[in-house]
Structure 1
Amino acid sequence: MISIKRLSHDNWWLLLSLAIMILLFISSAQTYQQQTSVPFLARWLHDQPFKQQLAGISFTYVDQKVSIASSGYFKFIEFFIRKGAHFGSYFLIGLGGYMGYRSRIKQTGLTMIVVWLAATGYAALDEFHQSLTGGRTPLFQDVLLDACGALTAIVLAWLITKFWRRRGKKAA
């Protein structure tokens, strides 16, 4: 058994990715009714802040119109929360994966590609898992959103670590 004190920084990053993946697996096993945030939003945003400003926003996502007029204020807000959760959770998976594997895989480009492909593959498996859950619709567009979240984190982590390494060399 590995003691928590003995975990390296790399392993903490990998644990972050694993924890997010476990949460996503649990979430994908729930129906929309089990995880909808509409009742919570209705209770806490009952004044519907910024409704007039948001009313002008309308677009199509996977052949479905997204607007306050077509789905109502709370479902409209929930749409952005859910898509933000897609992007954000895979951002964390990509960040944890890159930071956890960058010292294990010595080639930076290879690390970036492997982590991005792994995150994208997990996103596809997660959408497949959703297809097995009643009341859920797996979407290829969500896999693309997830892949973008992971890629964004990987590139940002690479840029930041590159910046800090160069800054450290100049100070020495």
Structure 2
Amino acid sequence: MKQWQKDGRLYLVIAFAVMAVIFYSSSQTYEQQSQIGFLQKVLKNQPFLNQLQTISFSYAGKEISVAANGYFSFLEFFLRKGAHFFLYFVIGGSFFLGLLPRIKSTLLTGVIAWLATVGYAGLDEYHQMITGGRTPLFQDVILDAAGAGTAILLCMIWKFIRKRNVF
């Protein structure tokens, strides 16, 4: 296992496993993925409703607010977008850590890991386009790119700190 981690194979396995989860998820319709029923059970008292009602913004040309979407759909929006950011954060970081032992150049590894992750995000949105009941959004690719970029940047900073023995 230590060798798998050292040569990056473990991280590549993690990246591809998360990609498989995303592919499966994108094969489902919105209704199959909906977490609204779960949220209605867990948050039946609608905590923080008054505070959340003050939030309103536009995403992909649609108003996102409690008034426009309802309490549970509003919360689900943040769950879904948080999942986008987090999953692509894991893929981007895993690609970086998995490719670094092979490429050796930190900057080149970062660029390749980011491009591969964003490319997969684009393919995922295309997959959603051909799946019934799904809406592909360019804004989701931007969110995915931000997640991947954040992870890669943190990995690069960590590598720099470790190399310089700052701590």
User: Which TM-score band applies after superposition, normalised by the shorter structure?
Assistant: over 0.9
Q: Tell me whether 1:86 sits opposite 2:84 in the alignment.
A: yes
**Which 5+ residue runs of structure 2 have no aligned equivalent?**
none
Deviation, structure 1 residue 63: 1.1
| Code of the aligned partner of 1:20 | V
**Equivalent residue for 2:94?**
96
Q: How does 1:8-157 map to 2 (within 5 A)?
A: 8-9=5-6, 10-157=8-155
User: Which shows bigger deviation, 75-84 or 101-110?
Assistant: 101-110
Deviation, structure 1 residue 108: 1.3
Cα distance in structure 1, aligned partners of 2:42 and 2:61 = 30
Q: CA RMSD in A?
A: 1.4
| Code of the aligned partner of 2:111 | I
Cα distance in structure 2, aligned partners of 1:49 and 1:95 = 34
Deviation, structure 1 residue 165: 2.1
Q: What is the TM-score with the length of structure 2 in the denominator?
A: 0.95
Q: Percent identity?
A: 49
Deviation, structure 1 residue 38: 0.3
Cα distance in structure 2, aligned partners of 1:164 and 1:42 = 46
Cα distance in structure 1, aligned partners of 2:55 and 2:5 = 46
| Code of the aligned partner of 2:106 | T
Cα distance in structure 2, aligned partners of 1:153 and 1:134 = 31
SS in structure 1 opposite 2:102? coil
Corresponding pairs, count: 166
Deviation, structure 1 residue 8: 3.4
